[in-house]
Amino acid sequence: MFLARKINSLLSFFGLTIVDKSVLYDWQKGEVATSQDLQLPAGAFEYLNTENPRLQELRRRYSVFQDNASIPVVWTDEYVQSYGLQSFRGDNCYVWQTRDPNCAEINYCLTAYYAQKIDTLGLLDKNCEDGLFGVHTYTVDSRCISRDLLDSTVELHFLEKHLGLSQFEELRILDIGAGYGRLAYRTVNAFSNVSSYLCTDAVPESTFLSEYHVKFRALENKVTVVPLDEIEKRLQNQTIDLAVNIHSFSECTLEAIEWWLDILAGARVKHLFIVPNASDHKGEKLALNSGEDFSSLVEKYGYKLKIKAPKYEDPMVQQYGVSPTHYYLYQLES
Ligand SMILES: C[S@@+](CC[C@H](N)C(=O)[O-])C[C@H]1O[C@@H](n2cnc3c(N)ncnc32)[C@H](O)[C@@H]1O
């Protein structure tokens, strides 16, 4: 229609276009409710509040711990206060679930089938999704799924494929920028050979939430949350096989990344897995959110890139799967 074409040519300046409603899925018409009830276990409502003395203590400690790791760039007070502690697994800055690229129902469905296909270790069966703490879920092939579950499955599959996680006699992992302990929970459920999984972070709320989450999931015999001001000392007495940094370095300053790399190289951590944010929807560059590449910084500390691979092995899924990016696996040169 002539009028629609005219309007579309104007709208294209704003990245918009008019389309016939009949070509849209229901979720694109805004007719599907996306909000889900907040399900909380007993005690969570009372404990997860900003006045909690433990959180206050961590805030005090982190504020006097003057080092390059704690200079906020993305994780400012305002950013942290943008989500409620009780819904820490919800669609928020820890794991975007409806606002990242390819986060519609159909993308979740595709990604769930992809995860099932690659899941030779049965990670999906070892890790269920219980829908707690505000996580955004769908049911696909009778399984409750979330981005938390799918991302963790795809990440662990990648690490198994390239590092053989299940073959380690005793697997010792350090998670830098561990958020609420998403991968710690999934890894311990998936691999019985994990002997120690350390979660650390430079944001007090994240440390507070991971402490709570680890305790709630009863993982304390394997997972330890190490506050920022204790991590250097802890690594002097502990061997780590693999450090992971997932969607965290991209949200740090270069100085903070350098602070962490110095610690990793000093502790002779052999393997380093980094997942950058993909502002270009591809993650082709190991970059900060600003677009600045930090790969040379990683190399400066002796880490050599061994594998760079798309998050999804199938190019079609990499195009349409939930939150595509690239995975980077580095190894410390001896
Ligand atoms: C997008 S969240 C990802 C959380 C977790 N890695 C995951 O994938 O579920 C980013 C994490 O980086 C942490 N973070 C922010 N600045 C940091 C810094 N300077 N050093 C270490 N972690 C930082 C945040 O507290 C948050 O836990």
Kindly state if the Cβ of 257 falls inside 6 Å of ligand 1.
no
Mutation pick for ligand 1 pocket among 79, 245, 248, 297 (CB with most ligand atoms within 8 Å): 248
Q: Per-residue pLDDT for 33 more than 70?
A: no
Q: What is the pLDDT of residue 36?
A: 67
Question: Looking at the domain assignment, is residue 68 inside a domain?
Answer: no
Q: Per-residue pLDDT for 28 more than 80?
A: no
Direct distance between the N- and C-terminal alpha carbons of the chain, in angstroms, rounded to an integer: 66
Q: Tokens in use for 44? A: 């969570």
Question: Looking at the domain assignment, is residue 51 inside a domain?
Answer: no
Lowest mean pLDDT among 20-24, 104-108, 133-137: 20-24
Judge contact between 92 and 81, C-beta under 8 A. no
273: closest CA among 225, 316, 240? 240
Of residues 251 and 17, more confidently modeled: 251
Q: Indicate the SS3 state at residue 81.
A: coil
CATH code, domain carrying 168: 3.40.50.150
CA 85–ligand 1 middle distance (angstroms): 15
CA 131–ligand 1 middle distance (angstroms): 22
Q: How many domains does the chain have?
A: 1
Mean predicted confidence (pLDDT) in 124-135: 97
Kindly state if the Cβ of 288 falls inside 6 Å of ligand 1.
no
Question: Looking at the domain assignment, is residue 141 inside a domain?
Answer: yes
The whole-angstrom separation of Cα 92 and Cα 148 is: 12
Residues 6+ apart with CB under 8 A from 328: 273, 274, 275, 276, 286, 295, 305, 307, 308
Q: Per-residue pLDDT for 78 more than 90?
A: no
* Residue pLDDT, tens place only, 289-308: 999 999 999 999 999 999 99
Mean predicted confidence (pLDDT) in 35-56: 92
The whole-angstrom separation of Cα 91 and Cα 84 is: 11
Mutation pick for ligand 1 pocket among 180, 203, 232 (CB with most ligand atoms within 8 Å): 203
Mutation pick for ligand 1 pocket among 206, 208, 264 (CB with most ligand atoms within 8 Å): 206
Kindly state if the Cβ of 69 falls inside 6 Å of ligand 1.
yes
Full DSSP string of 262-274: HHHHHTT--EEEE
Q: What is the pLDDT of residue 16?
A: 86
The whole-angstrom separation of Cα 287 and Cα 279 is: 9
CA 75–ligand 1 middle distance (angstroms): 8
Question: Looking at the domain assignment, is residue 258 inside a domain?
Answer: yes
Q: What is the pLDDT of residue 301?
A: 98
Question: Looking at the domain assignment, is residue 24 inside a domain?
Answer: no
* Residue pLDDT, tens place only, 165-202: 999 999 999 999 999 999 999 999 999 999 999 999 99
Question: Looking at the domain assignment, is residue 44 inside a domain?
Answer: no
Give the pLDDT band (50/70/90) at residue 230.
very high
CA 225–ligand 1 middle distance (angstroms): 14
| 290 alpha carbon, distance to own chain's centre | 18
> Which residue, by CA, sits nearest to atom 10 of ligand 1?
248
Mean predicted confidence (pLDDT) in 111-134: 97
The whole-angstrom separation of Cα 167 and Cα 116 is: 22
Question: Looking at the domain assignment, is residue 197 inside a domain?
Answer: yes
Q: Per-residue pLDDT for 224 more than 70?
A: yes
Judge contact between 202 and 177, C-beta under 8 A. yes
Kindly state if the Cβ of 135 falls inside 6 Å of ligand 1.
no
CA 177–ligand 1 middle distance (angstroms): 3
Question: Looking at the domain assignment, is residue 48 inside a domain?
Answer: no
> Which residue, by CA, sits nearest to atom 19 of ligand 1?
69
Kindly state if the Cβ of 176 falls inside 6 Å of ligand 1.
yes
Q: Per-residue pLDDT for 34 more than 70?
A: no
Mean predicted confidence (pLDDT) in 29-34: 61
What mean pLDDT is reported for the chain?
Answer: 93
Q: Is 254 exposed, middle or buried (0-12, 13-18, 19+ CB in 10 A)?
A: middle
This model's pTM is above 0.85: yes
Give the pLDDT band (50/70/90) at residue 83.
confident
CA 182–ligand 1 middle distance (angstroms): 11
Domain span holding position 186: 77-332
* Residue pLDDT, tens place only, 61-75: 999 987 777 777 788
* Residue pLDDT, tens place only, 231-271: 999 999 999 999 999 999 999 999 999 999 999 999 999 99
Q: Per-residue pLDDT for 35 more than 70?
A: no
Given the CA of residue 96, which atom of ligand 1 is nearest to it?
Answer: 1
Query: DSSP letter at 293?
Result: B
Kindly state if the Cβ of 182 falls inside 6 Å of ligand 1.
yes
Given the CA of residue 244, which atom of ligand 1 is nearest to it?
Answer: 6
Q: What is the pLDDT of residue 138?
A: 97
Q: Per-residue pLDDT for 31 more than 70?
A: no
Residues 6+ apart with CB under 8 A from 238: 172, 196, 198, 267
